[in-house]
């Protein structure tokens, strides 16, 4: 069975039947093509335990940013290969069992968090910057950035999801639907503070750009990008005197840990974040260990 032909069919399958994003399909194509090329895979039968083992050794010896290729990056190749093997089995084509592909162990993911006091200073930073400069031509910029921060904290949106929002957002409701990874739709909720901030920003807008958030010169506005937001938040974090790393994703981390620390169940948080697997959400449970210690101390063995 021709491996290249089956790869094409696999990519069409995950695009049409699984509804995967275009970027995901491009990545899977890249990972599989590199495996086929390096291991000289021509037929499906050429994918053996030996060829996979040799490829893993080759990956581990490739140069990365700081030394060898990160294990997390190596796993991307293995995930694509495992998905391909599952597809072959689904089609009744015999070959290497997908279960043979074990992912490399990766270091526990580090979560960038800020304290409640730092969060308040960050949220106040746009308005304080405006009051300090008092430049009317920059007022809309500060209104926009305040709305972005409030919306990120209220909804837990990914920065790419926030950038994709349009200005026809219905602010009479406390919820909205967003299209996340894999084109999956989920509901997120708006706080009164976030709705007020967005209203104030939109009221100050004079342009006709359909995007909810825009950037650039008044005569050359464009839909705001994740890189734009990352740059703006970094500036406000510095103004707020926060020494740690603060990114748009930090706001998503704060959103999740705030919910868990206040008693939300992990399944609900998983849905709000749009995680396909609860394993992804479980990275936040370590952050709430301090809260669990307090629960244990308060309620355990009270009768002894």
Segments of the chain with pLDDT less than 70? 64-67, 106-110, 286-298, 300-304
Structural domains in the chain?
Answer: 3-100 (1.10.150.130), 116-293 (1.10.443.10)
Helix (H, G, I), strand (E, B) or coil at 74: helix
Q: Identify the pLDDT of residue 103.
A: 85
Q: Identify the pLDDT of residue 109.
A: 64
| 63-64/67-68 β-pairing | antiparallel
Out of 7, 20, 144, 158, the active site residue is: 158
- The full length of the chain comes to 304
Q: Identify the pLDDT of residue 107.
A: 65
Burial code (b: 16+ CB inside 10 Å, e: under 16) for 185-195 equals ebebebeebbb
What is the C-alpha separation between 202 and 188, in angstroms, rounded? 20
Helix H or strand E segment including 116: helix 116-133
Out of 7, 144, 252, 253, the active site residue is: 252
Would you call 249 a catalytic residue per the annotation?
A: yes
Would you call 284 a catalytic residue per the annotation?
A: yes
- Cα 31–chain centre separation: 21
Q: Identify the pLDDT of residue 219.
A: 82
The candidate with the shortest Cα–Cα distance to 150, out of 199, 98, 183, is 199
pLDDT digits (tens, 9 = 90+) for 149-187: 999 999 999 999 999 999 999 999 999 999 888 778 899
Would you call 253 a catalytic residue per the annotation?
A: no
Q: Identify the pLDDT of residue 289.
A: 63
Out of 70, 86, 141, 249, the active site residue is: 249
Helix H or strand E segment including 38: helix 22-39
Q: Identify the pLDDT of residue 190.
A: 94
E-assigned strand segments in the chain: 63-64, 67-68, 175-179, 185-189, 214-215, 222-223
């Amino acid at each position: 069975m021709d491996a290249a032909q089956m790869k094409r069919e696999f990519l069409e399958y995950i695009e049409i039947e699984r509804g995967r994003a275009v970027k995901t399909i491009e990545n899977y194509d890249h990972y599989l093509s590199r495996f086929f090329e390096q291991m000289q895979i021509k037929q499906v039968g050429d994918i053996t335990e030996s060829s996979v083992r040799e490829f893993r050794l080759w990956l581990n010896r490739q140069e990365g940013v700081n030394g060898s290729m990160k294990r997390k990056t190596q796993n991307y190749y293995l995930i694509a290969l495992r998905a391909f093997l599952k597809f072959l089995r689904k089609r009744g084509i015999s070959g290497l069992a997908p279960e043979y592909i074990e992912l490399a162990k990766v270091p526990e993911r580090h979560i960038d968090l800020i304290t409640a006091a730092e969060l308040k200073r960050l949220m106040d930073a746009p308005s304080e910057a405006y009051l300090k400069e008092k430049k009317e031509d920059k007022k809309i910029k500060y209104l926009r950035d305040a709305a972005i921060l409030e919306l990120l904290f209220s909804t837990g949106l990914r920065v790419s999801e926030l950038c994709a929002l349009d200005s026809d957002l219905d602010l009479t409701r406390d919820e909205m639907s967003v299209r996340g990874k894999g084109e999956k739709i989920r509901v997120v909720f708006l706080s009164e503070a976030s709705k007020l901030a967005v209203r104030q920003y939109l009221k100050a807008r004079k342009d006709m750009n359909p995007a909810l958030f825009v950037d650039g010169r008044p005569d050359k506005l464009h839909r705001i990008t994740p890189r734009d937001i990352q740059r703006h938040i970094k500036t406000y974090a510095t103004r707020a005197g926060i020494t740690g790393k603060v990114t748009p994703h930090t706001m998503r981390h704060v959103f999740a840990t705030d919910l868990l620390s206040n008693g939300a169940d992990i399944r609900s948080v998983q849905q709000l974040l749009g995680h396909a697997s609860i394993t992804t959400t479980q990275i936040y449970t370590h952050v709430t260990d301090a809260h669990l210690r307090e629960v244990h101390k308060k309620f355990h063995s009270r009768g002894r």
